[in-house]
A and B are shown apart, each in its own frame.
Chain A
Amino acid sequence: MKEKPEALEQAVLNEYKYGFVTDIHTDLIAKGLNEDTIRLISEKKNEPGWMLDWRLKAYAGWLKMEEPTWPNVKYPPIDYQDIIYYAAPKPKKQLNSLEEADPELLKTFEKLGISLNEQKRLTGVAVDVVMDSVSIGTSFKEQLSEIGVIFCSISEAIQQHPDLVKKYMGSVVPMTDNYFAALNSAVFTDGSFCFIPKGVRCPMELSTYFRINAENAGQFERTLIIAEDNAYVSYLEGCTAPMRDEHQLHAAVVELVALEKAEIKYSTVQNWYPGDKNGLGGIYNFVTKRGICKGDHSKISWTQVETGSAITWKYPSVILKGDHSIGEFYSVAFTNNHQQADTGTKMIHLGKNTRSRIVSKGISAGHSNNSYRGLVRASKQAANARNYSQCDSLLLGDKCGAHTFPYIEVKNKTAIVEHEATTSKIGEDQLFYCKQRGIDAETAVALIVNGFAKEVMNQLPMEFAVEAQKLLAISMEGSVG
């Protein structure tokens, strides 16, 4: 009856409940990447010439770049010729409403817990769904367009709103910003576009659901959100993928533009397949997310709950260009088994009286490695810039790692930057105390982890917070014996 003392160290069996594959005909192109691949993607999407030129320019840039080696993650070399760059559920025809979508597809989304119809009716969340390379459908489009909000797939935006796309795409994340952003710029297949005109407070949460289904396919989506003067939008993003033994690449780009007094709140619950308990398979999540507070008094807030992916490499950042602008980054990153996460943020203070706040909570279990990497930069002009950073790490067991890499560059004497970091461990004493009160180890760990992550969870919109908490609980299953 005596339990082994290493009970806490046994990080096993992370049951991934979204690991099913949808049996659906998929329009795939051959593996491999060259100029012809890009032409083919552009052609399949019936894109205008300027878009193709943009892609080819990015591709030329990418060819000259090197894959970054500075993140604190390890993986075998990626063969970029062994990836399918375009996969679309067939039949690919223009869908006017979700009801026209393939029933198999709709079933998939029901399994994922996003019954679109239900969600439409009950929560008033507008949803765009992207499966593999293309957008499956966007709900609530009409209601939104009545108030001038454009919410559609990026492919559609390229066709319907080329001026906006031309003006803003690549304005926050330049096409050759980094290796994976350049790759994305060359081969991105779909994603979401949203535009909130002057003075409009978007009355509902906008949401995109990303799903990788096809084998050997990479997902390269691109999201662009623009909030004009005095506009407000809250945007949610969720992601899942089937369980597969091979690693799959996901290299997305997200750009946010907030003009004067505009506010964008971007929340992510990332639950890509993390690989099995021995580290086999799982998604490489190499993502570039950046927002610019372009106008004075604007605000961008990133909230992320990261529980999935074999490797996560992402730094949602804010460029605080407008005076009095505010950037926020709230993150919970949970890693288990052999997962690796190198995530954090960049707060680039350019304007006067700009403020930023970073709250990062890293939780490591099993053999996983969890790194926070963050840059706070105050430029010469950034008078009275303020930053507060707090990075807390929680370790479950003693085979996992937590690391903090804060970079601070301050060029203005009036700027104030504060950084606090803590590392704690769930101890046997705490578990015994809980068990003596009738709370078993698993519930106890969930209680402690939720307490630890509460400050970030509180930032999530209500419906999402409940989902995220459940997700955290599922990810932790079996992380204690």
Chain B
Amino acid sequence: MLSIKNIHANIAGKEILKGINLDIKAGEVHAIMGPNGSGKSTLASVLAGREEFEVTEGEVEFAGKDLLELSTEDRAREGLFLAFQYPVEIPGVSTTNFIKAAVNEKRKYLGQEPLDAVSFLKKMKEKMALVEIDQSLLSRSINEGFSGGEKKRNEVFQMAMLEPKLAIMDETDSGLDIDALRIVANGINKLRSPERSILLITHYQRLLDYIQPDYVHVLYKGRIVRSGQKELALELEEKGYDFITDEVDLSLGL
């Protein structure tokens, strides 16, 4: 599904990603963990096509296409979804209208007719139940005045509506209390499927109590320094990042 080869990326001339390699197959759930400032969110931004980041080296293949050649919106239409760490407020644009525009832009790209009002509503109802989101939230301006939990739930709802091939969840657990975390995690679990890959970006292990990843990677100083299975996350929880980062610093001669 996603194949990242030796990606280097800069922001404002500073190199943040220093050669990332990662393969995610259809249906797999990968978690990327790492201390603050290791480049986790940068990786998400680069994959989504945020313009401030400059890719200086490397290749990314997504669903058989050269991802870096696609515009931000075409990446989305091809099925790449990013759940934002800080979802953006857009005053005056209702959540329903926003999602409708997104769904129909994607359909247009794929050569499909736009969804009529009835089918769209039906789909909304179905997905609302999935992520336990309230109708009243959807008629409000998108993310405006939403609580932290509502914003994250809304991200998962959009993911459900857009049915992506690859969903990147950027610190979706941050700022959530335990109940909100459970609801959000349940939503994501229900969206797992053999055709869909998920990349979880998180600082803490606790999200992984709810969503069991197939693989766990540790990102440090712009590189993946350790990969393993879900036990790696537990080890990190127990020993902290230091046991890995110290070792890396030592090998780098720092």
Q: Is the CB of A435 within 8 A of B90?
A: no
> Contact check: which of B91, B92, B106 meets A438 at CB < 8 Å?
B106
Is B174's CB within 8 Å of the partner chain A?
no
Q: Is the CB of B72 within 8 A of A454?
A: no
Q: Across the interface, which residues of B come within 8 angstroms of A429, CB to CB?
A: 88
Q: Is the CB of B51 within 8 A of A2?
A: yes
Q: Is the CB of B82 within 8 A of A447?
A: no
Q: Is the CB of A433 within 8 A of B69?
A: no
Is A109's CB within 8 Å of the partner chain B?
no
Take A436-B82, A439-B101 as given contacts and tell me if A451 and B90 are in contact as well, using a CB distance cutoff of 8 Å. yes
Interface size on B, residues (CB 8 A): 38
Please measure, in the bound complex, the distance between the C-alpha atom of A451 and the C-alpha atom of B73, giving whole angstroms: 21
Please measure, in the bound complex, the distance between the C-alpha atom of A434 and the C-alpha atom of B87, giving whole angstroms: 11
Q: Is the CB of A432 within 8 A of B50?
A: yes
- Give residues of chain B (121-158) contacting chain A, Cβ–Cβ below 8 Å: 141, 158
Q: Is the CB of B102 within 8 A of A439?
A: yes
Q: Across the interface, which residues of A come within 8 angstroms of B98, CB to CB?
A: 434, 437, 439, 447
Is B162's CB within 8 Å of the partner chain A?
yes
> Contact check: which of A1, A424, A443, A450 meets B71 at CB < 8 Å?
A1
- Binary contact track B98-113/A, C-beta < 8 Å → 1, others 0: 1101100110010000
Q: Is the CB of B48 within 8 A of A436?
A: yes
Q: Across the interface, which residues of A come within 8 angstroms of B73, CB to CB?
A: 435-436, 438-440
Closest to A438 in B: B76
- Give residues of chain A (426-477) contacting chain B, Cβ–Cβ below 8 Å: 427-430, 432-440, 443, 447-448, 450-452, 454
Please measure, in the bound complex, the distance between the C-alpha atom of A429 and the C-alpha atom of B162, giving whole angstroms: 20
Q: Is the CB of B105 within 8 A of A438?
A: yes
Q: Across the interface, which residues of A come within 8 angstroms of B54, CB to CB?
A: 2
Q: Is the CB of A1 within 8 A of B68?
A: yes
Please report whether the interface of chain A is mostly helix, strand, loop or mixed according to DSSP: helix
Is B210's CB within 8 Å of the partner chain A?
no
Q: Is the CB of A448 within 8 A of B90?
A: yes
Q: Is the CB of A5 within 8 A of B101?
A: no
Take A435-B72, A438-B73 as given contacts and tell me if A430 and B106 are in contact as well, using a CB distance cutoff of 8 Å. no
Is B221's CB within 8 Å of the partner chain A?
no
Q: Is the CB of A1 within 8 A of B69?
A: yes
Is A3's CB within 8 Å of the partner chain B?
yes
A4 to chain B, nearest CB (A): 8
Please measure, in the bound complex, the distance between the C-alpha atom of A433 and the C-alpha atom of B99, giving whole angstroms: 12
Please measure, in the bound complex, the distance between the C-alpha atom of A451 and the C-alpha atom of B89, giving whole angstroms: 13
Q: Across the interface, which residues of A come within 8 angstroms of B162, CB to CB?
A: 437-438
A343 to chain B, nearest CB (A): 21
Q: Is the CB of B76 within 8 A of A435?
A: yes
Please measure, in the bound complex, the distance between the C-alpha atom of A1 and the C-alpha atom of B55, giving whole angstroms: 10
B8 to chain A, nearest CB (A): 15
Q: Across the interface, which residues of B come within 8 angstroms of A439, CB to CB?
A: 73, 98, 101-102, 105
Q: Is the CB of A430 within 8 A of B90?
A: yes
Q: Is the CB of B91 within 8 A of A433?
A: no
Q: Across the interface, which residues of A come within 8 angstroms of B102, CB to CB?
A: 437-439
Closest to B68 in A: A1
Please measure, in the bound complex, the distance between the C-alpha atom of A434 and the C-alpha atom of B105, giving whole angstroms: 11
A365 to chain B, nearest CB (A): 17
B53 to chain A, nearest CB (A): 9
Q: Across the interface, which residues of B come within 8 angstroms of A438, CB to CB?
A: 73-74, 76-77, 102, 105-106, 109, 162
Q: Is the CB of A448 within 8 A of B93?
A: yes
> Contact check: which of A7, A428, A434, A452 meets B91 at CB < 8 Å?
A452
Is B120's CB within 8 Å of the partner chain A?
no
Interface size on A, residues (CB 8 A): 27
Q: Across the interface, which residues of A come within 8 angstroms of B48, CB to CB?
A: 436
Q: Is the CB of A437 within 8 A of B158?
A: yes
Q: Across the interface, which residues of B come within 8 angstroms of A454, CB to CB?
A: 92
Q: Across the interface, which residues of B come within 8 angstroms of A7, CB to CB?
A: 51
Please measure, in the bound complex, the distance between the C-alpha atom of A452 and the C-alpha atom of B141, giving whole angstroms: 11
Q: Across the interface, which residues of A come within 8 angstroms of B77, CB to CB?
A: 438
- Give residues of chain A (294-334) contacting chain B, Cβ–Cβ below 8 Å: none
Q: Across the interface, which residues of A come within 8 angstroms of B76, CB to CB?
A: 435-438
Closest to B69 in A: A1
Please measure, in the bound complex, the distance between the C-alpha atom of A433 and the C-alpha atom of B48, giving whole angstroms: 10
Q: Across the interface, which residues of A come within 8 angstroms of B90, CB to CB?
A: 430, 433-434, 447-448, 451
Q: Is the CB of B72 within 8 A of A443?
A: no
Is B52's CB within 8 Å of the partner chain A?
yes
Q: Across the interface, which residues of B come within 8 angstroms of A428, CB to CB?
A: 51
Please measure, in the bound complex, the distance between the C-alpha atom of A2 and the C-alpha atom of B69, giving whole angstroms: 9
Closest to A429 in B: B88
Is B84's CB within 8 Å of the partner chain A?
yes
Closest to B158 in A: A437
* Chain A CB within 10 Å, residue with most, of B72, B88, B91, B106: B72
Please measure, in the bound complex, the distance between the C-alpha atom of A435 and the C-alpha atom of B74, giving whole angstroms: 8
Q: Is the CB of B101 within 8 A of A433?
A: no
A429 to chain B, nearest CB (A): 5
Q: Across the interface, which residues of B come within 8 angstroms of A452, CB to CB?
A: 91-92
Please measure, in the bound complex, the distance between the C-alpha atom of A189 and the C-alpha atom of B191, giving whole angstroms: 68
B7 to chain A, nearest CB (A): 15
Is B229's CB within 8 Å of the partner chain A?
no
B92 to chain A, nearest CB (A): 3
Q: Is the CB of A436 within 8 A of B93?
A: no
Please measure, in the bound complex, the distance between the C-alpha atom of A256 and the C-alpha atom of B97, giving whole angstroms: 38
A294 to chain B, nearest CB (A): 37
Q: Across the interface, which residues of A come within 8 angstroms of B99, CB to CB?
A: 437
Q: Across the interface, which residues of B come within 8 angstroms of A437, CB to CB?
A: 76, 98-99, 101-102, 105, 158, 162
- Give residues of chain A (405-437) contacting chain B, Cβ–Cβ below 8 Å: 424, 427-430, 432-437
Q: Across the interface, which residues of B come within 8 angstroms of A447, CB to CB?
A: 90, 93, 97-98, 101
> Contact check: which of B84, B105, B141 meets A443 at CB < 8 Å?
B105
Q: Is the CB of B72 within 8 A of A436?
A: yes
Take A437-B162, A438-B77 as given contacts and tell me if A451 and B51 are in contact as well, using a CB distance cutoff of 8 Å. no
Residues of B within 8 A of A (CB): 48-52, 54, 68-77, 81-82, 84, 87-94, 97-99, 101-102, 105-106, 109, 141, 158, 162
- 24 CB < 8 A contacts A-B: A2-B51, A4-B51, A427-B88, A430-B90, A433-B88, A434-B90, A434-B98, A436-B48, A436-B49, A436-B72, A436-B81, A436-B84, A437-B105, A438-B73, A438-B162, A439-B98, A439-B102, A447-B90, A447-B93, A447-B97, A451-B91, A451-B93, A451-B97, A452-B91
What 7 A-B pairs come out closest when comparing CB atoms?
Answer: A451-B92, A438-B76, A437-B102, A433-B88, A435-B72, A451-B93, A438-B77
Q: A1-B69, A430-B90, A447-B97 are in contact. List 5 more A-B contacts (CB 8 A).
A: A7-B51, A436-B81, A451-B92, A451-B93, A452-B91
